[in-house]
Amino acid sequence: MICPNDGTEMHQVKIVAHYGQPIIVDQCQICGGIWFDEAELFRARQGEADRIEMLDADIARAPSMIEESELLCPRDRAVMLQFADRYFPQDIILVHCRLCSGIWLNRGGFVQYQRFRQGLLQRSQQKSAADKRRAEIKKLVESYESGRITGTLRKLGEFLSTPADRGVFTSLGAILWIIDQISN
Ligand SMILES: [Zn+2]
Ligand SMILES: [Zn+2]
């Protein structure tokens, strides 16, 4: 397959998908761009970019090759379009073919994309942890309001991972103060 940037015959490079299946992508040894068929980019396991991107000092000094306004798909020669979405980072230049759904990434783009995805995953994990914590707090408040104070204090103690002293938390104010501390 021919590189859309410089017409060089690209090399096939094996990378690993999420569940360990191999994916063969095409990488240009001259400009460092990588071609992904269909959803290969999204299936690539985290960390594969760091493994295969040619980001050594010499290559990093070379100018970026995507400067042409029109790149042709290496599969079907259709004009490729730059992907733009307000949630997608502007500094990652992702060019795609609407005919075959292939994706072309400039040198360094694969690493940038995987770092972006890693950030999204971390944020969603933090969010689900926060949601879980909010749900636990809600249960505690409902438990207190239903009058099961002993159970509430025990659960609150478990929640804080410290033994609850029943003599200390006897008022709703104290519990609300703790809940406030937990939820911040
Ligand atoms: Zn190239
Ligand atoms: Zn195509």
Instruction: Please state the rounded mean pLDDT for residues 34-62.
Output: 80
pLDDT higher than threshold 50 for residue 171: no
pLDDT 10s digits, 117-131: 888 778 777 777 777
Cα of 85 vs centre of ligand 1, distance in Å, is: 25
Cα of 5 vs centre of ligand 1, distance in Å, is: 5
pLDDT higher than threshold 90 for residue 73: yes
Better pLDDT: 174 or 117: 117
Residues, beta carbon < 5 Å, ion ligand 2: 73, 75-76, 97, 99-100, 102
Cα of 31 vs centre of ligand 1, distance in Å, is: 4
> Which sequence spans correspond to the domains of the chain?
11-107, 129-183
Cα of 100 vs centre of ligand 2, distance in Å, is: 4
When pLDDT is cut at 50, 70 and 90, the band that residue 59 belongs to is low
User: What pLDDT, on a 0 to 100 scale, did the predictor assign at position 25?
Assistant: 97
Cα of 148 vs centre of ligand 1, distance in Å, is: 69
Ligand whose nearest atom lies closest to the CA of 11? 1
Report the chain's mean pLDDT, rounded to a whole number. 77
CA distance 130 to 139: 14
Instruction: Please state the rounded mean pLDDT for residues 7-33.
Output: 93
Look up the pTM and report it. Answer: 0.66
* Count of beta carbons in the 10 Å neighbourhood of residue 19: 7
pLDDT 10s digits, 131-151: 777 777 777 666 665 655 555
User: What pLDDT, on a 0 to 100 scale, did the predictor assign at position 29?
Assistant: 92
Which residues is 33 bridged to in the sheet?
A: none
Instruction: Please state the rounded mean pLDDT for residues 96-116.
Output: 92
Residues, beta carbon < 5 Å, ion ligand 1: 3, 5-6, 28, 30-31
Report in angstroms the alpha-carbon separations of 119 from 68, 114, 122: 30, 9, 5
Cα of 32 vs centre of ligand 1, distance in Å, is: 6
Inter-residue contact 112 to 91 (CB < 8 Å): yes
pLDDT higher than threshold 70 for residue 169: no
Helix (H) / strand (E) containing 57: helix 57-61
CA distance 184 to 169: 19
Ligand whose nearest atom lies closest to the CA of 27? 1
CA distance 156 to 181: 12
pLDDT higher than threshold 70 for residue 7: yes
When pLDDT is cut at 50, 70 and 90, the band that residue 85 belongs to is confident
Most confident residue range from 34-43, 60-69, 168-177: 34-43
